[in-house]
Amino acid sequence: MDKCEIKRNPLLASEFESLIASMDSSILDLRLSKPALRALVRLDIYSVADLKKVALMDLEKAHGIGPASILKLKPFFFELNSNFEYYL
């Protein structure tokens, strides 16, 4: 049995595809992986400006967002949150 919710439920996969298609080109142009895009949908992030809604640490912990996606998103995150301090 497949654990992947998306593979088990074609309707859910279609819904995610529709929501991803509605994302701003600023996000889509980053060419993030499908799991990363689905994670952004779950976090209600559809544009770069929406990154203000989420803490970087929460973004890093989100299922589907890996190190490559974080590297692509970080510059926008820091640009929007210029007074943000991030501790490793």
pLDDT tens, position by position, 50-82: 988 888 889 999 999 999 999 999 888 777 765
Question: Is the model's pLDDT at 84 over the cut of 60?
Answer: no
Task: Answer whether 64's CB lies under 8 Å from 41's CB.
Answer: no
- Cβ neighbours around 75 below 10 Å, total: 10
User: What is the number of other CB atoms lying within 10 angstroms of the CB of residue 18?
Assistant: 10
What would the mean pLDDT of 7-12 be, rounded to a whole number?
86
Domain regions of the chain by residue span: 5-80
The predicted model scores a pTM of 0.83
Q: What is the pLDDT of residue 88?
A: 40
Nearest to 12 by CA among 28, 34, 33: 34
Tens-place pLDDT, residues 13-38 = 999 999 999 999 999 999 999 999 99
